[in-house]
Amino acid sequence: MMDVTCNLCGRDDYKVRYPATGNYATAGQNHHTLAADAFSCTHAGYGSHARIVQCKHCGHMYANPCWTGEELLAAYTAVEDNTYVEERLGRELTFRKHLQAMEKFTGPANGGSEAASGEPEAVSGRTLLDVGAYIGVFVQVALANGWQACGVEPSAWGANVAQANGLPVLHGTLDHAELQPHSFDVITMWDVIEHLADPAGELAKAYRLLRPGGWIVVHTMDISSAIARLMGPRWPWLMDMHVQYFSQRTLAEMLRQNGFKVVWSGAQGRYLRLNYVASRLGGLNRHIGALATKMVHGLHLGGTAVPMNFGDLFTVYARRPDEGQNS
């Protein structure tokens, strides 16, 4: 691990918000071993994290020290996550909800209505790229709703699962050679930006891939949410895999710095099966998790998906300006 500067403003002046925990504390903050299983989407390693600091100038929070982008990419390339496959129903319901909310701003895949800007969204077969597509669930949902959708995914396992199901998910990142500038009407990043060593750099790449007037949709955790402030160091999203901690304000500012015009930002939840909820509770407290699992199984409700929204997950809709317009 290495010391890093703030990815939002570039400064190296911070205060420690949450000291390193678990093996990070015992091994020394710069000597923790990178374990690929800690970077799977469904990993329940709550409470184990590197030192988390807050920039004194812009307020952005991030893990410092952190691994290099190359080290993180290697970890995500090696990730396998069968629990995610088991939770597919909840993911499908979540992504259908997200797509419906998205289309209120972007317009539908085949046009025929006005987007949030008030301008008609024409042309059929509009293109969408899902970044960090994992096994391609959102790509599949978007395809079913008329989008020319594809994805890009660093996990070799995730990309292979998607491809085995006939889904157009490329193995790699936004640097993939098949992704051409000005190719997409919409780019989505669902629970991705918090994992990146250089999120500003990835937003700049997304800007180049979007057509003028195209949309970017970013979903992540909100470190400034009421529940995050209330729980403090016990907030479950403080984890190994999360190296950037945005608020709605800091993410909006990073988007603006990379040329985007922010249209809307707000809390959005998700659907989870009760079996999965019980297993997540077990990651926070073994006894509570065991009790929740017993209750869910006893009532035969494990497969039931329910909406969850604690206000600490949010989505930003932003737009690349049309040619000749300022952001």
pLDDT level of residue 35 (50, 70, 90 thresholds)? low
Share of the chain above pLDDT 70, in %: 80
Number of independent structural domains in the chain: 1
Judge whether 177 lies within some domain: yes
For residues 89 and 190, which has the higher predicted lDDT (pLDDT)? 190
pLDDT digit string (tens) for 145-166? 999 999 999 999 999 999 999 9
Judge whether 97 lies within some domain: yes
CA distances from 303 to 95, 271, 276, 297, 299 (A): 18, 12, 9, 9, 11
Mean pLDDT of the region 7-36:
80
Judge whether 240 lies within some domain: yes
* Domain interval for residue 131: 81-269+309-319
Judge whether 300 lies within some domain: no
Judge whether 315 lies within some domain: yes
Mapped onto helix, strand or coil, the DSSP state of residue 5 is coil
Please name the helix (run of DSSP H) or strand (run of DSSP E) that holds residue 290, with its range, or none.
Answer: helix 286-298
Residue 86 burial (CB < 10 Å; 0-12/13-18/19+)? middle
Judge whether 146 lies within some domain: yes
pLDDT at 306 over 70: no
φ/ψ bin of 287: left (φ > 0), alpha (ψ from -120 to 50), beta (otherwise): alpha
Q: What is the mean pLDDT of the chain?
A: 87
Q: What is the pLDDT of residue 327?
A: 43
pLDDT level of residue 33 (50, 70, 90 thresholds)? low
Helix/strand/coil percent split, the chain, to 5: 35, 25, 40
Judge whether 287 lies within some domain: no
Judge whether 40 lies within some domain: no
Please name which of 61, 46, 50 lies closest in space to residue 19, comparing C-alpha atoms. Answer: 50
Task: State the Cα–Cα distance between residues 243 and 204, nearest whole angstrom.
Answer: 19
pLDDT at 173 over 70: yes
Q: What is the pLDDT of residue 247?
A: 98
Mean pLDDT of the region 29-52:
74
Please name which of 71, 215, 243, 50 lies closest in space to residue 154, comparing C-alpha atoms. Answer: 71
CATH, residue 219? 3.40.50.150
